[in-house]
Amino acid sequence: MTSTVITRWYRPPELLFGAKSYSSSVDIFSLGLVFAELLLRVPFLPGDSDVHQLKLIATALGTPTEQNWPGVTGLPGYVIPNTDDIRPEQGRLFFGETFRTLTPEGLTLLMSMLRLDPRKRWSAKQCLESEWFKEEPTPTKPELLPRKGGGKGIEKVGGDLKRRAGWDESTDAADLEGHRGRKIARKLDFGGK
């Protein structure tokens, strides 16, 4: 196995430290970073080198040490990126302040995915069984999602993509000549009641 897998921004610390044997916990860490990115709407830890990536992880999540990850110093590439700034593994307060839109169950899920010690990260099954997935709003029913090959859902999406942003569908070409027409906020319809 190689430690040079997974795009750097989503690579867990054990791979950055050169681990040659690892489990699916590397994928859980990556998914946790994707989850964080979806919440923040920007990449959470966008490092420009492996050392920078480790520094971002240490700053945001805590410095990997023997106290929070027994055995970490035995990894071939183990190095603390900033020995002057050793931070404890972050807890609920940090996650709550950083990801303000998450409910307590969502915070538990995200924190469990982004544990420094891969043995302490939740499994995929534990993640899927999280109470966060049972909270409102519930996911869109599959039959209401747009489908490949047609259907009203795909027509609506296609129509939205063709329309100029901010213009009402009732505005016709004649209204647009000579002036800007009626500018409106776009309403989103997710098919719910």
Instruction: Convert the pLDDT of each residue in 28-67 to its tens digit.
Output: 999 999 999 999 999 999 999 999 999 999 999 999 999 9
Rg over CA atoms, the chain = 22
Say if residue 161 is exposed, middle or buried (CB neighbours under 10 Å; 0-12, 13-18, 19+): exposed
110, amino acid identity: L
Backbone angles phi, psi at 79, to 5 degrees: -155, 140
Cα separation, 193 vs 187, in Å, equals 14
pLDDT-derived band at 181, boundaries 50, 70, 90: very low
pLDDT exceeds cutoff 60 at 6: yes
Share of the chain above pLDDT 90, in %: 60
Residue count (the chain): 193
DSSP-based three-state secondary structure for 18: coil
The listed CATH number (1.10.3720.10, 1.10.510.10, 1.10.10.10, 1.10.240.10) that belongs to domain 8-134: 1.10.510.10
Positive or negative torsion for Cα 108, 50, 21, 86: negative
As a whole number, the mean pLDDT across the chain is 84
Cα separation, 112 vs 92, in Å, equals 11
Contact 18, 3 (CB under 8 A): yes
The arithmetic mean of pLDDT across residues 61-78, rounded, is 94
Q: Delimit the domains of the chain by residue range.
A: 8-134, 140-193
